[in-house]
Structure 1
Amino acid sequence: MTDHPTAQRAPATASPPPTTVGADPVFTTLAVAASCVGFVLIGALQALYGPAIPALREEFGLSPSTAGLGLSAHFVGGVAGVLLFDRRYGRTGNRRILATSYLLMATGAAGFALAPNWPLALTAAFLAGLGFGGIDYGLNQLFAVGFGHRSTAMLNILNAHFGIGAILGPALIASVGAEHYPAIFIAFALVNLPLLLCLRGVRDHPPHLTTPTEKATPADGALRSVLTVFVTLYALHVAIEAGVGGWEPTHLETVGYGAGTAATATSVYWLMMTVGRFLVAPIALRFSAQAIITVSCAGMTVCLLLAAVPGLAPYAYAGVGLFIAPIFPTGLPWLTRAAPRARRAGALVIAASMLGGVAAGPALGKVIEWSDVRAVPLLLAAVSATCLAATVWLTRATRTT
Structure 2
Amino acid sequence: MPDPSTQARAVTAHGPPRAPVFSPAAVAASCAGFVLIGALQALYGPAIPGLRREFGLSPSAAGLGLSAHFVGGVAGVLLFDRLYGRIGNRHLLGSSHLLLAVGAAGFALAPNWPLALAAALLAGLGFGGIDYGLNQLFAVGFGHRSTAMLNILNAHFGIGAILGPALIGAAGSGHHPAVFLGFALAVLPLLLCLRGVRDRPPHPRDPEPGGTAQPEAPARSLGSVLAMFVALYVLHVGIEAGVGGWEPTHLESVGYGAGAAATATSVYWLMMTAGRFLVAPLALRFSAQAVITVSCAGMTGCLLLAAVPGLAPYAYAGVGLFIAPVFPTGLPWLHRAAPRAHRAGAVVIAASMIGGVAAGPALGKAIEGAGTRAVPLLLAGASAVCLAVTLRLIRATRPRPTHDRPA
Q: The TM-score by the shorter chain falls in which range?
A: 0.7 to 0.9
Aligned length: 379
Structure 2 residue aligned with 1:133: 128
Distance across 1 between alignment mates of 2:39 and 2:102: 16
CA spacing shift, 1:398–1:336, aligned 2, 3 Å:
same
Structure 2 residue aligned with 1:382: 381
Structure 1 residue aligned with 2:200: 206
**1:62 pairs with one of 54, 59, 62:** 59
Q: Does 1:166 align with 2:165?
A: no
Q: Indicate the SS of the match to 2:59.
A: coil
Structure 2 residue aligned with 1:35: 30
The structure that has the greater radius of gyration is: 2
TM-score, normalisation: structure 1: 0.78
- Deviation of the 1:94 alpha carbon: 2.6
Show the 5 A alignment for 1:9-158.
23-52=18-47, 60-63=57-60, 69-113=64-108, 121-147=116-142, 151-158=146-153
Show the 5 A alignment for 1:362-373.
362-364=361-363
Indicate the larger mover: 83-92 or 380-389.
Answer: 380-389
Distance across 2 between alignment mates of 1:234 and 1:308: 24
- Deviation of the 1:370 alpha carbon: 7.5
TM-score, normalisation: structure 2: 0.77
Distance across 2 between alignment mates of 1:371 and 1:69: 28
Residues 242-291 of structure 1 show CA distances to partners (whole Å, capped at 9, x for unaligned) of 333345456656765345x5554443222211221233244445654334
CA spacing shift, 1:107–1:132, aligned 2, 3 Å:
same
Q: Which structure 1 segments of 5+ residues have no match? A: 1-18
CA spacing shift, 1:215–1:272, aligned 2, 3 Å:
closer
Distance across 2 between alignment mates of 1:291 and 1:159: 19
CA spacing shift, 1:375–1:231, aligned 2, 3 Å:
same
Check the 8 A contact 1:170/1:263 in 2, yes or no.
no
Check the 8 A contact 2:137/2:201 in 1, yes or no.
no
Q: Indicate the SS of the match to 1:206.
A: coil
Distance across 2 between alignment mates of 1:336 and 1:24: 20
CA spacing shift, 1:373–1:76, aligned 2, 3 Å:
farther
- Match of 1:60, as an amino acid? L
- Match of 2:132, as an amino acid? Y
Q: Indicate the SS of the match to 1:75.
A: helix
CA spacing shift, 1:53–1:238, aligned 2, 3 Å:
farther
CA spacing shift, 1:158–1:128, aligned 2, 3 Å:
same
Distance across 1 between alignment mates of 2:87 and 2:106: 27
Q: Which structure 2 segments of 5+ residues have no match? A: 1-13, 401-407
Q: Name the Cα RMSD after superposition.
A: 3.7
Check the 8 A contact 2:237/2:352 in 1, yes or no.
yes
Check the 8 A contact 2:144/2:284 in 1, yes or no.
no
Structure 2 residue aligned with 1:319: 318
RCO (CA 8 Å, sep 6+): is it higher in 1 or 2? 1
Q: Indicate the SS of the match to 2:331.
A: helix
